[in-house]
Structure 1
Amino acid sequence: MWCPSVSLSVWANSWLAGAAAPDDVLDALSQWTPTHSVTAYDSVAAERTGLPWPDLDNTGAMSLLQTMRTVARAAPAQPAIALALPVPGDVRGLPPGTQFGRDAIAAGEAIIVGSAGAAIGMVPDFEYPDDYADSPAGDDDEFEPELCGLSWTVYSLDTLPVTSPIDLGEAEYALRDAVRSAADALGALRAGTSGADVADPRRLVEQVLEPTRAHRIPDHAPVRAVRVLENAAHVDAIITVSSGLIPIGLQSSSEVQLASDALRPLGGVVRSARLAAVDAILHSAWRS
């Protein structure tokens, strides 16, 4: 898993479908941080979920699960959970003109639960130690802050976005092309950095991938969906490493621009593949 919203959506959905226990959801969340809290953004969200209002008291991980269960069980069809992975210029899955949408874009991830007229949106916020903001400037490379908590904000949604389902087979086919393009880009950058004091890009890709392998996927997940997620993670890691190596491995601004332009579309392919795979996993829980 590459973000908390994926962990929460697939495991909470499995729990609601009877394919996982509450402890499975909590274990998945604890891979990110042991501390989770949830608050309502507005009074309607509080009414739909039972969260405190107007007192904005943070409640724990079990309240997070209860919040999702309260809204999802009232939906006429299952799964009643959907994932969004928005970025500027690609806001698929978000209702337009909402604070939820703006905060989701800033976070790069969100969850939508429920049906039209009774839905909620959820956005996580990473919390770090108070002294992180006071760390000396320029120490970013030396000081890796430890995530100390995730705070989930719940928004009421009056309307649900109109989305077109992404076919998993088509997403996998597009991802195969992306794998080749990403590998070619990494190979070119590897050649360009051969004389520089830079670690082997392939080793850097493995370092990026390593933390994601600690996150489990529900047993009912289709094999194809799991394969797509693994390939998407590999392409995403190559994009991350390549983006960092472009200024080192290329000499001219035109080369940098061409390399950046070549990598940019791959991000959209990765997001589409991940959305299709997660959607397949969500539906599989209700067929298992």
Structure 2
Amino acid sequence: MWSSAWLHGAAASDNVLDALLPWGEAHEVVAADDATGAALDLPVTGGPPARPAQLLGTLRRLGVTIARLVLPVPGDVRGLGGGGEFPKAALAAGEAVVLPCAGYGVVPHHIAEGLVRWTVHPLATSGPVLPQDVGLDHVSLAEAEHGLTDAIRDSAGALQSLDVASERPSVRAELSAHLRARPEPAWPDGTPPRALRVLQRAEEIGAILDVATAEEPGGALSASAAERRADALRPLSEAVRTARCAAINETVRVFGDQANRA
């Protein structure tokens, strides 16, 4: 969202760099291979890294106007553009940014306390591609919001039968602590209010999922019970991922449309 706001003139570069701080005090950028490093004038993994400001300049030089958030999980790697190392790295991280028209993807990785490394990979498809070519389906905010509501309703009975709260009396305190510990990022001026609402709701449900799937004290949860819990929570988890991507990607679209009208 911030890089898109900057690329379209809706945010200053200092604001973009400051927006990274909730996720880590320091950020560095490297290229995954020599060819990518040469094409983008970025250092390769293993050498002295670049700073995020250099990556922003590279995006501007490439003429990037589209960025997409992807949150892959095993069994759902849509948006990663086929084979190569990028899908593997993105799946291991559980998140990535795809720059479809430039033909690159960027994967964050927490390599130490307070330090995040962003690695730029080439997409498997050679040359610039369209978003649909890498499986980036458009999901509207309305669809995403309804999907969250439906998933909560459909999972309600199963969640009740799991009865996490009665098994763990401290679950409310755990949830409150979990929400307090999560990053609280600022968002660019001009971010659509509905996108922020969807993000907030997805964040709250995501925190509930994290607490619900946490290992019980002493590892008391049996394998069969853990499997039932995972099955019950999977639709809700998928709805949260879809909602987060829809909110971010809709905001990217709005910033692009505002720039085009200007």
TM-score, scaled to structure 2: 0.84
Q: Residue in 2 aligned with 1:123?
A: 107
Distance change (3 Å), C-alpha of 1:248 and 1:237: farther
1:65-106 per-position Cα deviation (integer Å, ceiling 9, x unaligned):
2233223x1x5xx3x211111111110110121101111100
Equivalent pair of 1:182/1:239 in contact (CA under 8 Å): no
Equivalent pair of 2:30/2:45 in contact (CA under 8 Å): no
Aligned AA (1:151): R
Distance change (3 Å), C-alpha of 1:284 and 1:192: same
Q: Residue in 2 aligned with 1:218?
A: 188
Q: How does 1:201-240 map to 2 (within 5 A)?
A: 201-212=171-182, 214-240=184-210
Structure 2: runs of 5+ lacking an equivalent: none
Q: Residue in 1 aligned with 2:238?
A: 268
Q: Residue in 2 aligned with 1:134?
A: none
1:199-258 per-position Cα deviation (integer Å, ceiling 9, x unaligned):
2x2232222222336211222111111111111111111111111266789877654433
**Aligned residue among 64, 81, 84 for 2:70:** 84
Q: How does 1:131-210 map to 2 (within 5 A)?
A: 147-159=113-125, 160=129, 161-180=134-153, 185=159, 188-193=163-168, 198-199=169-170, 201-210=171-180
Distance change (3 Å), C-alpha of 1:150 and 1:53: closer
Equivalent pair of 1:190/1:249 in contact (CA under 8 Å): no
1:152-197 per-position Cα deviation (integer Å, ceiling 9, x unaligned):
111122525133211221111010133446666278211233xxxx
1:26-85 per-position Cα deviation (integer Å, ceiling 9, x unaligned):
1111222232111112233223322246983311121132233223x1x5xx3x211111
Structure 1: runs of 5+ lacking an equivalent: 1-9, 129-146
Distance change (3 Å), C-alpha of 1:191 and 1:103: same
Q: Residue in 2 aligned with 1:137?
A: none
| 1:95 alignment partner, SS class | coil
Distance change (3 Å), C-alpha of 1:53 and 1:233: closer
Q: Residue in 2 aligned with 1:35?
A: 26
Number of aligned positions between the proteins: 249
| 2:248 alignment partner, SS class | helix
Q: Residue in 2 aligned with 1:281?
A: 251
Q: Does 1:98 align with 2:115?
A: no
Distance change (3 Å), C-alpha of 1:67 and 1:211: farther
Equivalent pair of 1:36/1:150 in contact (CA under 8 Å): yes
Aligned AA (2:165): R
CA distance in 1, matches of 2:142, 2:9: 27
Equivalent pair of 1:182/1:235 in contact (CA under 8 Å): no
Equivalent pair of 2:80/2:123 in contact (CA under 8 Å): no
Q: Percent identity, aligned pairs only?
A: 37
Distance change (3 Å), C-alpha of 1:122 and 1:245: closer
Distance change (3 Å), C-alpha of 1:53 and 1:245: closer
Equivalent pair of 1:35/1:61 in contact (CA under 8 Å): no
CA distance in 2, matches of 1:213, 1:46: 31
Aligned AA (1:230): Q
1:109-165 per-position Cα deviation (integer Å, ceiling 9, x unaligned):
1112251xx42111112122xxxxxxxxxxxxxxxxxx2311111112252513321
CA distance in 1, matches of 2:219, 2:22: 35
Q: Does 1:65 align with 2:56?
A: yes
Equivalent pair of 1:192/1:250 in contact (CA under 8 Å): no
